[in-house]
Structure 1
Amino acid sequence: MLLFAAALWLSWRHAPDWLSRHMGDAASFTSLFQGSIRFNSYVGVAGAAALHGSAGATVAAVALALMVPAANLLCVMAFIGAGTLGEGGLLRSLKALTRNPLVLACLAGTALNLSGIGLPGWSGDAISLLGRAALPLGLVAVGVALRPRVLVSSGSVAWLASLLKLLAMPALVVVLCRWFGLEGVARDVAILFAALPTATSAYILARQLGGNAELMAALITAQTLLAMLTLPLWLAN
């Protein structure tokens, strides 16, 4: 994620004209950035559990705790750097980051875990019921968010982001897994999360922070549909 974030930013700032046209203006670039960096955590947890059961879900939870705050911070920094926020934008972006429920949940869960406090025993059944309901509801929300009509007017940015997110990033992670000797469940989850389509929540951030929300909707739609083809290919690697 850090490598892709740096490459995208440097490319947009210093790219030749022909490439800059495909990356769009400041608002469109933030959508390209989110579409190349963020990932759909609902699909990731569902896929990890389907592949490896509770072991896969556990590794996915560890990945989420690390990746969700990092992804949101990188994306907010991209909005700030691109200048889409206007006056008072830094404060507004920080407020949006501190109100992000995924970031707050990861930080709270990590704090409870590392402190040894944990959750009270009586809450286990209730939270388990909420957890079982959250995943299918999240997947329903993914389907509702699809907007095939906006793909027609999205231009080349949507397809560039899809190429980077669904092909280039998982290819890099496959190489890194071999380099570091990662195997088994950890390897599968790493490749899965690299190959996931972008997050539906990216649309909300685009609206809040001055991005191109319609383009973001097109990216979400294109990547979610294309991932039905690319995800099985990467997981069979």
Structure 2
Amino acid sequence: MIVTAVLPIFILIGLGFLLKNHFSFGEGFWDTSNRLIFWVLFPSLLFTSMSRAELAQLPTGGMAVAVIPAILTVAFLTLVVQKTYPMDTRGFTSVFQGSIRLNTYLGLAIAGGVMGAKGLEYAAYTAAVMITLVNFLSVVTVERFVGMKSGWWSLLKSVLANPLILACVLGMVFSIFHLRLPEVAYQSLVFLGGASLPMGLLTVGAGLRFSSVKHSLGPIMWCSFLKLILLPAISGLVCWRLGLQNEATMIVVIFSSLPASASAYVMAHQMGGDAELMASILAIQTLFSVFLLSGILVYFTPL
């Protein structure tokens, strides 16, 4: 079960890497694909997963309580480490993002592969909570340390205008109030959402850059420890203390263990962070996550 759920995911990531680096799929193709996924395909998947979910049957409060303190703790520890580890502010903003951001494409692909539609419901809710918090923390930190001050209103708009957050919130509204789109419209969104995960995984692979890893091993390794080890350990411990059911705990731990996302690279590039370091963090975390996520699934599910 684990092999059939996880192996195709990493095959697609590897294929994306090959297409980008060894075939005639250039930056323009991947930039356009990323915009299509971010603005159309992925929001469609999140909305359709949430809009007909039975939220009352999900342990939403417990899942939020598990992930929010874990993210805040790791964010605080990253700030503490920054005081003792010699690093310029541009580099620190990339390390900060790498310590808390998550690759939602990968998480939803695993959740859907292992648990089907029910897994996507758990995953979409968890993603909504985590994306909102990490986007806010990331934007605040990058602006604070790089010095690009745009005011609290611009900051709030940049978080609330995120199409992934909007899709999750709108989906929750439809679910809570039992609203329904016309079936033709809903099925059209289902088809669009179905394209998001394979396309998203290909773009994950295309975004991997290993060329400068050796120049920044220290920051990459402690950043990856915070993200891939400490964050899931804290969230998993909270789940255990709360007595959450196995399925909810598995989704929370998986999403806490995800590597950072390509959006962190985009933010670093656009807002004056260390984009090269961010690319190296993404590459190493994605590579490590192959083994980490497989181990988590072995623990929670039968072979």
TM-score interval, smaller chain: 0.7 to 0.9
Determine if the alignment matches structure 1 residue 80 to structure 2 residue 143: yes
Give the stretch that moved more between structures: 182-191 or 153-162: 153-162
Determine if the alignment matches structure 1 residue 229 to structure 2 residue 291: yes
Following superposition, the deviation at residue 90 of structure 1 comes to 5.5
Q: Of the candidates 85, 90, 109, which is equivalent to residue 20 of structure 1?
A: 85
CA contact (8 A) 2:74 2:230 kept: no
CA contact (8 A) 1:165 1:195 kept: yes
Percent of aligned pairs with the same amino acid:
35
CA contact (8 A) 1:40 1:199 kept: yes
> What CA deviation, in whole Å up to 9, does each residue of 1:82-128 have, x standing for no partner?
2x133546666455434433233333333444454443332121111
Following superposition, the deviation at residue 5 of structure 1 comes to 1.4
Query: Which amino acid is the alignment partner of residue 260 of structure 2?
Result: T
Following superposition, the deviation at residue 174 of structure 1 comes to 2.2
1:169 equivalent in structure 2: 231
Following superposition, the deviation at residue 80 of structure 1 comes to 2.8
Query: Which amino acid is the alignment partner of residue 249 of structure 2?
Result: R
2:274 equivalent in structure 1: 212
Following superposition, the deviation at residue 235 of structure 1 comes to 2.8
2:93 equivalent in structure 1: 30
| Alpha-carbon separation, structure 1, partners of 2:279 and 2:154 | 22
| Alpha-carbon separation, structure 2, partners of 1:210 and 1:92 | 17
> What CA deviation, in whole Å up to 9, does each residue of 1:153-180 have, x standing for no partner?
2231111111111111112222222111
Pairs within 5 Å for 1:120-135: 120-135=182-197
1:59 equivalent in structure 2: 122
After TM superposition, which residue ranges in structure 1, 4 or more long, deviate above 6 angstroms?
Answer: none
| Alpha-carbon separation, structure 2, partners of 1:99 and 1:57 | 23
CA contact (8 A) 2:265 2:279 kept: yes
Query: Which amino acid is the alignment partner of residue 73 of structure 2?
Result: L
Q: 1:103 to 1:134 in 2, by over 3 A?
A: same
| Alpha-carbon separation, structure 2, partners of 1:170 and 1:236 | 15
Following superposition, the deviation at residue 205 of structure 1 comes to 1.2
| Alpha-carbon separation, structure 2, partners of 1:155 and 1:69 | 29
Q: 1:182 to 1:38 in 2, by over 3 A?
A: same
1:6 equivalent in structure 2: 76
| Contiguous gaps of at least 5 residues in structure 2 | 1-70
2:240 equivalent in structure 1: 178
| Alpha-carbon separation, structure 1, partners of 2:272 and 2:285 | 22
Query: Which amino acid is the alignment partner of residue 261 of structure 2?
Result: A
Q: For 2:262, what is the secondary structure of its paired residue?
A: coil
2:132 equivalent in structure 1: 69
Query: Which amino acid is the alignment partner of residue 98 of structure 2?
Result: G
| Alpha-carbon separation, structure 2, partners of 1:112 and 1:209 | 35
User: Could you say what the CA RMSD is over the residues aligned between the two structures, in angstroms?
Assistant: 2.0
TM-score by length of 2: 0.70
